[in-house]
Amino acid sequence: MPKEKKMVISPAELKVLDVLWENSPLTSSQIVDALEKVESWHNRTIKSLINRLLKKKAISHKEDGNRYLYYPLLKKNEYLETTSRGFIRRLFGGKISPLVAHFAKHEKISKEDIRELKNILEELESDDSSTNKGKIK
């Protein structure tokens, strides 16, 4: 069985997907209206992006009278997981700690972010210790 080709989403296409992840189904006019508030794109540009996403099977549509309603096929959490995993693999050798260290050194991390990271680590440690009870490490 041939390996499934990875879907590549451009930054512009991602903005269309963001609109649909936020609220769907939407008509092309509704997508244009939502994006015109944040981008200075012409409506033909946005419609071209919609068509590219349709060809990639990232979105689909259904007929509603004389218009189409668009909705995402690609789920946001799946996109984020795949994209972030590839990013971490390419730039940090698949390791999380160099990523966090990089941001800690080069970006301002709020006290709230630090608390959240500590909580995540504590949860991971407690999950790891409860699932590994009686196992030799």
Give the residue, 134 or 113, on which the prediction is more confident.
113
Residue 33, both tokens: 């209206």
Paired with 62 in beta bridges are 69
| 53 lies in the same domain as 83 | no
0.85 cut: is pTM over it?
Answer: no
| 68 lies in the same domain as 15 | yes
| pLDDT, tens digit, 9 for 90 and up, residues 85-123 | 888 889 889 888 888 888 888 888 889 988 998 899 899
Q: Is position 5 within any domain?
A: no
| 91 lies in the same domain as 58 | no
The C-alpha atoms of residue 39 and residue 19 are separated, in whole angstroms, by 12
Q: Is position 106 within any domain?
A: yes
CATH number at residue 27: 1.10.10.10
| 86 lies in the same domain as 68 | no
Q: Is position 3 within any domain?
A: no
pLDDT at 5: 59
| 21 lies in the same domain as 68 | yes
**Minimum mean pLDDT range among 5-9, 89-93, 119-123, 129-133:** 129-133
pLDDT at 128: 67
| pLDDT, tens digit, 9 for 90 and up, residues 11-70 | 999 999 999 999 999 999 999 999 988 888 888 999 999 999 999 999 999 999 999 999
pLDDT at 134: 44
Give the residue, 114 or 137, on which the prediction is more confident.
114
pLDDT at 106: 86
The C-alpha atoms of residue 90 and residue 109 are separated, in whole angstroms, by 23
81 lies in which domain range?
A: 76-131
Q: Is position 136 within any domain?
A: no
Pair 52, 13: CB distance under 8 Å: yes
Query: What total of structural domains would you count in the chain?
Result: 2
